A and B are shown apart, each in its own frame.
Chain A
């Protein structure tokens, strides 16, 4: 057995850092399907998992990859898959199954330009709405957006922790640029890495209710073989896990599924503020685009524009209250993202017409430069 946590300083790309983060978080099964620019996650973890007693399998497609990690998760193991836009679309039906069966798992989307085959080797951030709305039915999802290889490591651990804590799939919405960028990644001592595992049931096995929630709205989760004789279904089900086709059961189930996320927003939502205190115009950005935005804020300040940055680390659930609060004391928002206005639209919604919201975005294929952001700041916003 080799070490699960490779403590030390490494010069690695984001995809590799993500794979290492997964192993450090306790991931021991990965079902994957190669797709650029996420392939290196699968390649690296295929080498590392057997070294730490885990297993890797390259499935026949992304649907199978996503489904296999759900099966793996019910054995009590932490599981992950990685993909890029087209594969993410294929996984969506099964993401719904993961949500409704409350199966913890982590899905990494290293985004590229789209739609369709699009720009396989070039960056994009245009799957952000797919992450929220891609599966059918109502649901809440957790999606994190790392800005650096270091965050690919750190946030992968966070993703596993949130996934286990809330028994829900968690997305890591990275992009080609962060995935393929090599930087220093510091892997801490294992004692300093906080990992969370799903709550386990106790008590009588014969009267066990699979979906009876605990105090934070999340039900303890048994594994296959523990003697609980669980039945897990994608059909609308009652607390016992049995299918019940009724308006009442649907409502109860949906209240629980949505509630466990909506009632814990403060615990889930992570943001970073930069020069926000006296900001008159606020840049909202995430992932690789947030890196550009820091420079844009500094340059704008030198030009006399009181700019600040709100970096979204958690993109879903969306920090509605924070945007709303900011909208009451600033003159406008500029959303920086590599798409034609996905999160920008969400910012607009939360700004509620109080202040304008502009987009500094483009169709994909490269990063957004600070100049492009400044152009929107100076020409449109001011």
Chain B
């Protein structure tokens, strides 16, 4: 038998209340969407680092995940489609002491923003990029993305996607990212730990997070949100240090999760400082 909560009990404060713009709730994310869980993992990580909140800033591009910047209660920027990374780069270059998080989606970061992603990785720009990958353009209504699986249906590939999707960790690795990981929104704790790792380290960190879009991707591909979660649970394999070339998303073979790359290399701002401001070096 369930009991109603005690009306007179003190109000339970959400553990992340200080990091959420509660005056903006309810959020716009759909029922069954995974972005909220990814966002929660990200906020938990920010909190767990113990770094003062005003040392963080979050930058997003456009789309559903891009709304993340609007809900975090720190200095945050909701920019134009695909441009979160160059905006973050400008912040980092002008204020290298800030901890810069880019929170955005696969459509934003890898189609229109693909060029920026590879160059920021190449430079080892000291930012943390969290990509919520729902395999589609969610907010625009479920068109094909650069991550949509071959033959998957979308509102612009109604018979099936003729293209091949990107292997995101492989792009990140090949471009020079010094931290690359993949989790799903179901692996909330692993994800939060990974984000915390990234926030505490220097260099370009990239985390791909698989997340369902039941309304715009699932519906067209006959996949209910719980089924997607079951796939995340049953058909994923945690394999740290896996070869990035073998990280294609294929649930029939099992999708590999884990931390694939963690290299210590000077970040862009460190290099710039040592070359261009040598007198400031110890």
Contact = CB atoms under 8 A, between A and B. Distances in A.
Interface of A: 28-29, 31, 50, 53, 55, 57, 59-61, 63-65, 67-77, 79, 93-94, 96-97, 224-235, 242-243
A229 B21 CA distance: 10
Contact of A61 (B59, B85, B93, B115): B115
A320 to B, nearest CB: 31
Q: Is the interface of A mostly helix, strand, loop or mixed?
A: mixed
B116 to A, nearest CB: 6
B11 to A, nearest CB: 19
A-B interface, 3 closest residue pairs, ranked by CB to CB distance from nearest: A71-B90, A68-B90, A50-B276
Interface string B258-282: 0000000000000010001100000
Contacts of B272: 50, 55, 57
Given A224-B95, A225-B95, A228-B75, A60 B87 contact: no
Contact of A31 (B55, B73, B74, B93): B93
A67 B80 contact: yes
A69 B90 CA distance: 6
A64 B89 contact: yes
A55 B93 contact: yes
Nearest to B100: A71
B14 interface: no
Contacts of B79: 67, 70, 97, 234
A55 B98 contact: no
A242 B24 contact: yes
A75 B80 contact: no
Given A75-B91, A231-B21, A233-B70, A59 B78 contact: no
A227 B52 CA distance: 10
B73 A225 contact: no
B268 to A, nearest CB: 8
A64 B119 contact: yes
B21 A68 contact: no
Interface residues of B, number: 37
A79 B90 CA distance: 9
A224 B73 contact: no
Contact of A29 (B21, B57, B69, B90): B90
Candidate in B94, B95, B277 with the most chain A CB atoms within 10 angstroms:
B94
Contacts, number: 133
A82 to B, nearest CB: 15
Contacts of A57: 89, 93, 272
B90 A72 contact: yes
Given A230-B76, A242-B24, A67 B70 contact: no
Contacts of B119: 59-60, 64
A6 to B, nearest CB: 19
A97 B80 contact: yes
9 contacts: A59-B119, A63-B86, A71-B90, A71-B94, A72-B93, A73-B90, A75-B91, A230-B75, A242-B21
A234 B80 contact: yes
Nearest to B24: A242
A73 B93 CA distance: 11
Nearest to B272: A55
A224 B93 contact: no
B260 to A, nearest CB: 24
A94 B57 contact: no
Given A68-B89, A69-B90, A224 B75 contact: yes
Given A64-B89, A243-B70, A75 B83 contact: no
A363 B86 CA distance: 35
Nearest to B92: A71
B88 interface: yes
Contacts of B59: 71
B179 interface: no
Contact of B277 (A50, A65, A77, A230): A50
B54 interface: yes
A243 B70 CA distance: 8
Nearest to A63: B83
